[in-house]
Amino acid sequence: MKFVDYISDITTAIMKNNEEDFILECVGILANLTISDLDYELLLTEYDLVPWINNKLKPGACEDDLMLEVIMLCGTVCNDDTCAKLLADSGIIQSLIDLLNAKQEDDEIVCQIIYVFYQMIFHQSTREVIIKQTQAPAYLIDLMHDKNAEIRRVCENTLDIIAEVDQDWTIKIQQEKFRWHNSQWLEMVENRSMDDDMVGSYAPDHDIDPYIQGTEALDRPEYMFADYNDMLMDGNVTPDYIDEPAYQDNGRYINVPPDMLGHGPGMMDNGDYYERPPSHFGYAADNYYYQDPYGRPMSRGGGY
């Protein structure tokens, strides 16, 4: 004996029995049927199940367990195109949206409602109703990043179908996916833009030492000559601490042998090195005879 032979008795029990626990089990049986020979349209119309379903989907009309089974029954019968249209024409989509708002903390109910939308999206007759006449796609976008992985999966699958058939929703869905996947980058750009806008609001640094503000005036070539013979030294090296390799590098830089530089060790006729220069200005040239108090070489007439 086939199970389908008992469908009529089960449906009759749902409509005439007042025991909610018994009804819960009967609805659960119908919701889990996957019999290809079962005529769901006949089941809905002959037993007038559509108004009964709509009534049970009102918030507070029944216990959550029974409500969940009724929603699962909707997902099952919506596999049939004609049944899906019957439910859509009865206004069940809006009832499910209202229920989605009322039970948004119940992941199982939310997931089953989204599955009903997923089933209806497959049919041309109900696809246009969901996309054009309800806000179901907007709710699906909001739930696309839900903490529940199964809810996210069903939302993604449903939105992918919507994006294939409606250009307007395609753009909105793509924008939301981009925003979500690049949320950290977008937040960084937004914060940086706010920082740039605030730059002009800072008070001027009037109290800062003007000598500190004018340090760029020291970055001039004339301050990097080794002596008054206009030999340019490397400005990155402090003369007080120049060692022989630095002199040699600087000599190559200005194409002058190391022993010819204003700084650095020169050699006497007998091959001995001169002593360390008495000041950071280096050795005095032959045409200089004196030094000023700061160690700079002066000519006999007092000039530099």
The three-point CA angle 25-28-32 to 5° equals 145
Predicted confidence at residue 303, as pLDDT, reads 55
- Checking if the pLDDT of 62 tops 90, the result is no
Confidence at 257, pLDDT banded by 50, 70, 90: low
- Checking if the pLDDT of 76 tops 90, the result is yes
Percent of the chain with pLDDT over 90: 30
Q: Which residue has the higher pLDDT, 225 or 4?
A: 4
Q: Which two tokens stand for residue 52?
A: 């009964």
Q: pTM for the whole thing?
A: 0.59
Predicted confidence at residue 230, as pLDDT, reads 47
Predicted confidence at residue 196, as pLDDT, reads 58
Confidence at 3, pLDDT banded by 50, 70, 90: confident
Q: How far apart are CA 167 and CA 135, in angstroms?
A: 16
Q: What is the DSSP letter of 302?
A: S
Q: What is the DSSP letter of 275?
A: P
- Checking if the pLDDT of 269 tops 80, the result is no
Q: Which residue has the higher pLDDT, 192 or 210?
A: 192
Average pLDDT on 171-180 reads: 81
Predicted confidence at residue 33, as pLDDT, reads 85
Average pLDDT on 224-235 reads: 48
Predicted confidence at residue 212, as pLDDT, reads 44
Q: Where are the domains of the chain?
A: 3-179, 208-304
Q: Which two tokens stand for residue 99?
A: 């229920």
Q: Which residue has the higher pLDDT, 254 or 74?
A: 74
Predicted confidence at residue 19, as pLDDT, reads 87
Most confident of 65-79, 201-215, 220-234: 65-79
- Checking if the pLDDT of 85 tops 50, the result is yes
- Checking if the pLDDT of 92 tops 90, the result is yes
- Checking if the pLDDT of 38 tops 50, the result is yes
> Mind listing the pLDDT tens digit for each residue in 272-295?
554 555 555 555 555 545 566 655
Q: What is the DSSP letter of 87?
A: H
> Mind listing the pLDDT tens digit for each residue in 129-154?
999 888 899 889 888 888 899 999 99
Predicted confidence at residue 205, as pLDDT, reads 52
User: Does the domain spanning 3-179 belong to CATH 1.25.10.10?
Assistant: yes
Phi/psi-derived region of residue 264, left when phi > 0, alpha when psi is between -120 and 50, beta in every other case:
left
- Helix count (H) and strand count (E) of the chain? 15, 2
- Radius of gyration for the alpha carbons in the chain, expressed in angstroms and rounded: 44
- Residue identified by tokens 């990155």 is 236
Predicted confidence at residue 35, as pLDDT, reads 80
E strand map for the chain: 290-291, 297-298
Predicted confidence at residue 200, as pLDDT, reads 53
Predicted confidence at residue 291, as pLDDT, reads 61
Q: Which residue has the higher pLDDT, 291 or 233?
A: 291
